[in-house]
Amino acid sequence: MTGGTTAPKAGRPGRGRRFQGGRLLQDAPAGGPVLRLVIRLLRRPLLPVMRLWRRNIQLRVVAATLVMSLGVVLLLGFVVIGQVRNGLVEAKEKAAQSQAEGGFSVAQEKADASSSTGGRGGDGTDSTTAGTNSWRTDLVEQLASGGPGAFNVVALSADPLPKRAPRTSGGVDLSSIPPDLRRSVVGGTGEFKTYAQVKYTDASDDRKPEPALIIGKRLNDVDRHPYELYYLFPLTQEEQSLNLVKRTLATAGLFVVVLLGAIAWLVVRQVVTPVRMAAGIAERLSTGLLHERMKVTGEDDIARLGEAFNKMAQNLQLKIQQLEELSRMQRRFVSDVSHELRTPLTTVRMAADVIHESREDFDPATSRSAELLVGQIDRFESLLADLLEISRFDAGAAALEAEPIDLREVVRRVIDAAAPLAERKGSTVRVAGDEQPVVAEADARRVERMLRNLVVNAVEHGEGRDVVVRLGAAGGAVAVAVRDYGVGLKPGEATRVFNRFWRADPARARTTGGTGLGLSIAVEDARLHGGWLQAWGEPGGGSQFRLTLPRTADEPLRGSPIPLEPEDSRGNRARAAAAVADKSARQVPNTAFPVRGATGTLPVPPGQAPRATAVVDPTALPGSGSRVVARKPDESHGAAPAPREGRGTGPGDGSAAGSAEPGGRRVDVDGEGPGRTSASETSEREGSTRGR
Amino acid sequence: MGDDRVRRGRGRTGRLGAGLVVLALALAGCASIPDKGDVEPVKASPQDESQVRVYAVPPPPDASAGDIVDGFLEAMTSDDPDFAMARKYLAHDEARDWKPQKITTVLSDAPDLEGPTKPPSADQPGLTYQMHGVEIATIDAGNVYRPLKPASYQRALHLIQEKVAGKKEWRIDALPQGLVLGASDFQRNYRPVDTYFYAKSDGWLVSDPVFIRQRIDPLTRMDPITQAVNTVLSGPTGWLKPSVKSSFPVGTRLQKGTRTLEFDDSNALTVPLNSAAKKATPDVCRMMAAQLFFTLRDLTSTRVGQIALRSGGSSLCSVSGDQAQAYAPGSALGQSAEDPFYLDPDGRLAHLRPDDKKGGDQDNLVPGPLGDGTVKLGSVAISRDERRAAGVAENGKSLYVTSITNDSDLGSPLVTSQGAKESDRLSAPTWDSRGDVWVADRDPDHARLLQFENGTTVSESAHVEHLDGRRIEAVRVSSDGVRIALLLTKGHRTSLEIGRVEQSGSGDHKELAVADLKSLTPQMETVTAVSWAGPSRLVIVGKEAGGVQQMRFVQADGSTSDASVLPGLNQVTAIAAGDTDSRALVAESSDAGVVQLPSGGNWQSIVEHGSSPVYPG
């Protein structure tokens, strides 16, 4: 039961896509096809990276280290550069200010001395007699010669319309003096300073503009004309120092980040390598190689982990061996007991038959006992046969004798065989979908046993109502669904019906003398074929059992031609009604949608993509006790259909919970549509769904 | 076995440790300031130009007449293209006719203005300002500097009112042609450059100093290097023209539109010429390139690596620094690195060496009759090959030429002066680079300038033009032999004049003349001593009117710069300088003997009792 599951594994992208060739499985659109294509194109190269990212803890740790150290380095770099910059600028500013102050006082003294001693303009005709241009030029020259390269001097006329030509030293362009500084200098009396770009006008060598500190003051020249004197201190040295610091920090930062990344990589590798080894060993252990052990060196934490792991593996191995032994013993015991019981039972049987034959000679009470005896011996025998069969399965001794058979014949035989019972129960067994041969490679005996079991069960629990056997074939799979309208299954029972000796109502007496092993054996048969046997049911709404088999042996199943939840289930009917109401409200034309015949089944409402049916994969469930998780198709498939109604939320929610079919796809085959092949039907509907 | 492995392991660890230590040491070496290393030449960085520029501004509207005049004077000092701003201060017609390039007048200070004076009558509108100043030099249209005797300069600027943009504005309508600049503005805007041409007779380079604009020429828009190249292509200045020739074919000019020339990273300059240059043969082309090489040598702060000439699209030739040395100016007989010479108290010729404090050290005396006291020399000159010396002995009476490398005969005097006093007899002799000895006979009755060909008795009297009765006190021939510096005395005034040596004919018909004398130091009242200090520079000892004795360098065109004044020294009677700046100046001072001026230092006494220090030449 536990090993070698044939259940479809959910969430394998790409598996369902191949099915599109069979035009069976519908692919619901999500957004426009172009957008989807773009997203897919974008995602494709990223997918391996994303997978690596998800799976590789080393990569994540290294990336995190890189990002964090980069952040730290950047922060540190900005702080340090800011400090250095402030320090440099402050020092330069102090030196520049004292230099400029000295220059201004020299200029003022010169002007005062010349005007007091020279006595220019004494004749009173015009005060601008002397060659002031020469005076200013000489002044600028003298001041600038104090520090060639360290600073430049500019003298401008303070008049709004300059009467005097401006003078610059060192090829400074006049536009280097910012206008707002000029305004402040002209308007104020003190010194003003600002930072600006200094441009040069030298044609010979194209000097680039430099950042500079400009200090200016308004002064009076030898003719008592106001003029503006500016000192320009280029900050190239400071800039170079700052650039040096920047370069150094950038280089150091880069090294630190890279080294930290490498260190993180190395350190993490030390931890991750044993973990990976442990993971590999654990994987091998889980596949049954119980002899695998970790290599343990040293005595650090990793070594302790390895030791503990090895100890665990050893204990597990021991326990598993014990359990296996026990299980084998038990199976052997059951088998032996069955065999051993047969011999006495044969004797008892013969004796009972003798008694039974001569029961008319007995008094009525004894005669009744003889009948009871024979009946119970019949049951005993069949129970014993079932036990033997199941123990054969458990021992893996069951062999498949597959040959192409037409399931319709099998169904017919089964129905014929069940006719007396049905008659007794007052119900009729109808067959649907038997217009065409439903051929599959299968073991006729086992298939017949399975179907008989299902049909008998259905008749038995059908409470006199009709039983419908539906056949379907599509896309490498054939299916037979047995639908009854009896008491149905309570929630959760769909998973348990396949358990051995399970009874829906323990108090209910068995009228047909079922052994309680029939469905278990059927499941084992289905699994032997590589097929599925699944159950659906709702309380009071009957149940449906679906057997899906691959058309050829050894071919994996990807879907079933018949939905597990029948279309006349309560949930489906409610949804259909809601959709019809919705459709009439929205007035959606559905000309593309084929109208079904009046067979009692309801069309899938337009605008509603095929739902992921709540299904049960019993082959994976019985006895395993595992929780059934319903997966959204979107999770497993990128181009999944648009959101659907939550499954199992319809009115009268009695449908059994179950796992989704692979890829969230569903094959709908309407076997009752007269004269219509299921494949074309499906493709038509698919087309209409996509077209929307 | 186990032991062995342990030992081997230990050895490996040791090697690893040693490797780490070596690595750490290497890294530590990288991280420390170097305290040793190879010697490498320092690449000259472009010097920071701290020169002041004046940006001319247009006349403001409603400016007063005084503002217009001031603004115009200011605009003349700027580098404004084509003096467009200066012309805006002029009346319409005058703006068109004013030719700033015609002549540049240099005043000792920026011109003073006087005025305005009203016109004499009402029907003559306008105002007149007078520009005052002391003119000290002019630059003519050929960029030749001419020093002037400081004299009063006065020119009138006449203003009228003219309609400008619909308003009456003052404008200058009468002004002198050319620019008027103060000395400081002149030095700011102009720079001297020695152009070089080949001496006609000898084929070595002779310098021809001119002035070019410091920055872009406002009129031609050429940068200094282009200006210098252009000047060379234009040929020698008028004064030097008869004695020199340019190797450039006639009509060679810069390629049209060339305004900037720049040295590339390897200090090479490519000069594009017009098609006339294609006529030059490769030899001539190299000579052309050498001319440019020496012209540009002093113009750039960086060493000139190579000069390449190009015409059209094809390269003509290129000359590197080493190749150009073959044409070096006046270097036909280059001076060796020998010490200078002097005369000891006994009139003997000796090497001037620093260890000879007293003078007359036997080791320093030259071999031969001049060093052994045969005659008592009064002045001396050493030939440029330093093999012979010319000495004036016997109180200036006789001139002897003899070897100073071996003990040879003194021979008979080449010439004997008949002067009555010592100061009326022979001047100090001088050698030119052809090996001729020059000497002036100062005999008032028989004044003459004599040249002794190759130091032999074959003498030629040179005719000095425009001597105007002045007496030749001293004579110095330049290293190229083309120019001759003369000290001329008339009355109390001794002036330095420079003339051109012109030789014509040969043998008996040889005619020798000193032509086109021009004064180099008109501002000096008296020049006491002179010596060539390089191909285009002299060092003089003199006195300005009302000043004290000073020593300074003077360019061969008479221009001086502030940096050319030398530290003061008293009572200098003679001075001598080597051909390059690396040779220390030596001088004779009456109170300190022979002194020398190490570069960057002050005068130092070398020999207390000695006289007539000379370098070869």
Find the helix packing angle between A518-529 and A444-461, rounded to 10°: 140
A35 compared with A4, residue with greater pLDDT:
A35
3-state SS, one letter per residue, for B592-611: CEEEEECCCCCCEEEECCCE
- The beta-carbon neighbor of A167 closest among B47, B54, B109 is B54
CATH number, position A473: 3.30.565.10
Do residues B128 and B268 share a domain?
A: no
The domain boundary residue, chosen from A287, A310, A343? A287
Cβ separation B53–A138 shorter than 8 A: no
The domain boundary residue, chosen from A241, A262, A287? A287
Do residues A112 and A261 share a domain?
A: yes
pLDDT recorded at residue A683:
38
Domain count, chain A: 3
Task: Dump pLDDT digits (tens) for A123-143.
Answer: 333 334 445 567 888 888 888
Distance of alpha carbon B497 from the chain centroid: 15
Do residues A422 and A525 share a domain?
A: yes
Cβ separation B74–A168 shorter than 8 A: no
Distance of alpha carbon A45 from the chain centroid: 16
* pLDDT category of residue A70 using cuts at 50, 70 and 90: very high
A607: pLDDT strictly greater than 80: no
Do residues B180 and B197 share a domain?
A: no
Do residues A468 and A356 share a domain?
A: no
Do residues A414 and A387 share a domain?
A: no
Residue that has been written with the tokens 């940006």 in this structure: B55
CA distance B395 to chain A (A): 52
Do residues B562 and B598 share a domain?
A: yes
Name the nearest CA neighbour of A607 among A566, A576, A650: A576
A2: pLDDT strictly greater than 60: no
Per DSSP, helices labelled H in A491-587 are 493-496, 518-529, 570-586
Task: Dump pLDDT digits (tens) for B236-255.
Answer: 988 888 888 899 998 888 98
Distance between CA atoms of A36 and B364, rounded to whole angstroms? 106
Cβ separation A137–B115 shorter than 8 A: no
CA distance B189 to chain A (A): 12
- The beta-carbon neighbor of B77 closest among A129, A130, A137 is A137
pLDDT recorded at residue A75:
93
Do residues B205 and B156 share a domain?
A: no
Cα first-last separation, chain B: 91
A677: pLDDT strictly greater than 60: no
pLDDT recorded at residue A263:
92
CATH number, position A312: 1.10.287.130
Name the nearest CA neighbour of A556 among A25, A3, A9: A9
Look at residue A294 and tell me if it is in a domain: no
Average pLDDT over residues A556-573: 85
Look at residue B390 and tell me if it is in a domain: yes
Q: Which residues of B touch A161 (CB under 8 A)?
A: 60-61
Look at residue A21 and tell me if it is in a domain: no
Cβ separation B55–A165 shorter than 8 A: yes
Q: In this structure, what token pair is assigned to residue A57? A: 């803890």
Q: Which residues of B touch A138 (CB under 8 A)?
A: 184
A628: pLDDT strictly greater than 50: no
Look at residue B448 and tell me if it is in a domain: yes
Task: Dump pLDDT digits (tens) for B455-470.
Answer: 787 778 888 888 888 8
pLDDT recorded at residue A339:
81
A645: pLDDT strictly greater than 60: no
CA distance A207 to chain B (A): 11
Average pLDDT over residues B573-584: 82
Q: In this structure, what token pair is assigned to residue A295? A: 């290599």
A206: pLDDT strictly greater than 70: no
Do residues B126 and B209 share a domain?
A: no
Do residues B152 and B210 share a domain?
A: no
Task: Dump pLDDT digits (tens) for B55-93.
Answer: 888 888 888 888 888 888 888 888 888 888 889 899 888
DSSP-assigned letter for residue B90: B
Mutate to test the interface with A, among B53, B62, B105, B227 (most CBs of A within 10 A): B53
Least confident range of A613-627, B398-412, B554-568:
A613-627
Work out the angle at residue B522's Cα, subtended by the Cα atoms of residues B520 and B528, and round it to the nearest 5 degrees: 75
Distance between CA atoms of A116 and A104, rounded to whole angstroms? 18
Q: Which residues of B touch A174 (CB under 8 A)?
A: 55
DSSP A159-199: SSS--S--EEETTB-GGGS-HHHHHHHHH-SSEEEEEEEEP
Look at residue B49 and tell me if it is in a domain: no
* pLDDT category of residue A205 using cuts at 50, 70 and 90: low
pLDDT recorded at residue A580:
80
Do residues A278 and A320 share a domain?
A: no
Look at residue B393 and tell me if it is in a domain: yes
CATH number, position B434: 2.120.10.30
Look at residue A455 and tell me if it is in a domain: yes
Average pLDDT over residues B168-186: 87
CA distance A273 to chain B (A): 27
Report the DSSP pairing between strands B127-140 and B437-441.
unpaired
Q: Which residues of A touch B157 (CB under 8 A)?
A: none
Beta strands in A526-573 (DSSP E): 532-538, 542-550
Q: How many residues does chain A have?
A: 692
Beta-ladder partners of B438: B430, B451
Look at residue B24 and tell me if it is in a domain: no
DSSP-derived 3-state class of residue A182: helix
Look at residue B476 and tell me if it is in a domain: yes
Give the side-chain half-sphere CA count within 13 A for B415: 34
Do residues A547 and A622 share a domain?
A: yes
- The beta-carbon neighbor of A161 closest among B48, B60, B114 is B60
Do residues A276 and A155 share a domain?
A: yes
Please list, in sequence order, all residues whose beta carbon lies within 8 angstroms of the beta carbon of residue A346, skipping any fewer than 6 positions away.
none
Beta-ladder partners of B139: B104, B145
Mean of the per-residue pLDDT values for chain A? 75
A555: pLDDT strictly greater than 50: yes
Do residues B112 and B203 share a domain?
A: no
Cβ separation A152–B74 shorter than 8 A: no
Do residues B311 and B394 share a domain?
A: no
Per DSSP, helices labelled H in B148-281 are 183-189, 224-234
Task: Dump pLDDT digits (tens) for B95-107.
Answer: 888 888 889 999 9
Average pLDDT over residues A11-31: 43
From A147, which residue of chain B is nearest by alpha-carbon distance?
B50
pLDDT recorded at residue A101:
92
Distance between CA atoms of A473 and B75, rounded to whole angstroms? 107
Average pLDDT over residues B377-402: 86
pLDDT recorded at residue A156:
87
From A175, which residue of chain B is nearest by alpha-carbon distance?
B55
Do residues B266 and B124 share a domain?
A: no
Do residues A152 and A269 share a domain?
A: yes
A136 in Cβ contact with A167 (< 8 Å): yes
Do residues A627 and A671 share a domain?
A: yes
Cβ separation A129–B60 shorter than 8 A: no
- In chain A, what percentage of residues exceed pLDDT 70? 75
pLDDT recorded at residue B55:
85
The domain boundary residue, chosen from A244, A260, A287? A287
* pLDDT category of residue A623 using cuts at 50, 70 and 90: very low
Mutate to test the interface with B, among A135, A204, A207, A210 (most CBs of B within 10 A): A204
Do residues B231 and B147 share a domain?
A: no
Q: Which residues of A touch B73 (CB under 8 A)?
A: 131, 133
Q: Which residues of A touch B47 (CB under 8 A)?
A: 148
Mean of the per-residue pLDDT values for chain B? 84
Mutate to test the interface with B, among A120, A132, A134 (most CBs of B within 10 A): A134
The domain boundary residue, chosen from B188, B223, B245? B188
Distance between CA atoms of A497 and A543, rounded to whole angstroms? 11
The domain boundary residue, chosen from B159, B188, B217? B188
Q: Which residues of A touch B70 (CB under 8 A)?
A: 128, 132-133, 163-164
Look at residue B310 and tell me if it is in a domain: yes
The domain boundary residue, chosen from B188, B206, B225? B188
Distance between CA atoms of A640 and A630, rounded to whole angstroms? 15
A659: pLDDT strictly greater than 60: no
Do residues A204 and A70 share a domain?
A: yes
Domain limits at B228?
191-327
B196: pLDDT strictly greater than 70: yes
Do residues A454 and A539 share a domain?
A: yes
Least confident range of A288-292, A523-527, A686-690, B289-293:
A686-690
Residue that has been written with the tokens 């013969």 in this structure: A350
DSSP-assigned letter for residue A551: S
Do residues A139 and A268 share a domain?
A: yes
Look at residue A652 and tell me if it is in a domain: no
* pLDDT category of residue A654 using cuts at 50, 70 and 90: very low
Q: Which residues of B touch A165 (CB under 8 A)?
A: 54-57, 71, 74-75, 77-78, 85
* pLDDT category of residue B453 using cuts at 50, 70 and 90: confident
Do residues B476 and B360 share a domain?
A: yes
Look at residue B332 and tell me if it is in a domain: no
C-alpha separations of B485 from B65, B474, B495, B525 in Å: 48, 8, 10, 17
Task: Dump pLDDT digits (tens) for A237-274.
Answer: 888 999 999 999 999 999 999 999 999 999 988 888 88
Cβ separation B113–A126 shorter than 8 A: yes
B345 compared with A69, residue with greater pLDDT:
A69
Domain limits at A192?
31-117+131-287
Cβ separation A203–B223 shorter than 8 A: yes
Domain count, chain B: 3
Report the DSSP pairing between strands A477-484 and B398-403.
unpaired
B293: pLDDT strictly greater than 60: yes
Q: Which residues of A touch B51 (CB under 8 A)?
A: 141, 144, 169-171
Average pLDDT over residues B502-517: 79
- The beta-carbon neighbor of A138 closest among B46, B55, B184 is B184
Do residues B299 and B353 share a domain?
A: no
A617: pLDDT strictly greater than 70: no
